[in-house]
């Protein structure tokens, strides 16, 4: 079955859709989302992408990331994909969005308007082994150090978000998000 992504203009207006692989080869700007789930100890759930992924296999990344389907609202796509990929659901709230254009392995291009969501969960995930090679909970402080020491072990979008928006996650955690879950 062909997977399609939603194409957008620079301000986020939908302008069509395209085959997912074609969009990643030609660098078409499309809508995406990234999910960052923390536990009550303030640790982020990260995952190692499965070795069979078409790009960035075996690299560590945020809890879950994907694309809404054409005609699917983010409010439906985000929890759907978290359940499919990581085997659990939790309340999620959009924190911000960012646009980037990153060259990946295999000459693919990740040109996305990425909506970043945060959630809180204290259980263990039950990930789809076809999507996730491994997972672990990690403090932001330790994670930032690991990203600095071993940047090639992490997906490009994850490194960008952790570097540029880390203070927003810190603020959300200090604001009682983790303590009140």
Span 82-132, pLDDT tens digits: 999 999 999 999 999 999 999 988 889 999 999 999 999 999 999 999 999
Task: Give me the mean pLDDT over the 18-32 stretch.
Answer: 97
119: left (phi over 0), alpha (psi -120 to 50) or beta: beta
- CA 74/CA 47 separation, integer angstroms: 21
Query: Domain range spanning residue 146?
Result: 4-177
Active site residues: 65, 112
For residues 131 and 181, which has the higher predicted lDDT (pLDDT)? 131
Q: Where are the alpha helices (DSSP H) in the chain?
A: 20-26, 74-86, 140-149, 156-172
Give the pLDDT confidence score for residue 31 in this predicted structure: 98
Predicted model pTM: 0.94
pLDDT band, very low/low/confident/very high, at 37 (cuts 50, 70, 90): very high
Q: What is the CATH number of the domain that holds 43?
A: 3.90.79.10
Span 48-76, pLDDT tens digits: 999 999 899 999 999 999 999 999 999 99
Q: How many domains does the chain have?
A: 1
pLDDT band, very low/low/confident/very high, at 178 (cuts 50, 70, 90): very low
CB atoms within 10 A of CB 149: 8
Is residue 180 predicted with pLDDT exceeding 80? no
Cα angle 78, 130, 148 (rounded to 5 degrees) comes to: 70
Say what percent of the chain tops pLDDT 90: 87
Among residues 178, 162, 166, the alpha carbon closest in space to that of 119 is found at: 178
- CA 175/CA 62 separation, integer angstroms: 21
Is residue 181 predicted with pLDDT exceeding 50? no
Span 148-176, pLDDT tens digits: 999 999 999 999 999 999 889 988 888 75
Give the pLDDT confidence score for residue 179 in this predicted structure: 38
pLDDT band, very low/low/confident/very high, at 42 (cuts 50, 70, 90): very high
């Amino acid at each position: 079955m062909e997977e399609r992504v939603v194409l957008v203009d620079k301000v986020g207006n939908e302008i069509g859709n395209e085959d997912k692989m074609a969009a990643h080869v030609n660098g078409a700007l499309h809508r995406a989302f990234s999910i960052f789930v923390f536990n009550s100890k303030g640790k982020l759930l990260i995952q190692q992408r499965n070795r069979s992924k078409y790009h960035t296999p075996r690299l560590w990344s945020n809890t879950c990331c994907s694309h809404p389907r054409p005609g699917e609202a983010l409010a439906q796509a985000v929890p759907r994909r978290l359940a499919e990929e990581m085997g659990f659901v939790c309340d999620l709230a959009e924190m911000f969005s960012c646009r980037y254009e990153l060259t990946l392995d295999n000459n693919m291009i990740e040109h996305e308007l990425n909506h970043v969501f945060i959630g809180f969960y204290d259980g263990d995930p039950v990930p789809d082994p076809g999507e996730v090679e491994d997972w672990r909970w990690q403090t932001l402080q330790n994670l930032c150090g690991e990203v600095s020491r071993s940047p090639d072990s992490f997906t490009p979008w994850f490194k960008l978000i952790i570097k540029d928006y880390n203070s927003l996650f810190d603020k959300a955690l200090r604001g009682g998000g983790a303590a009140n879950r």
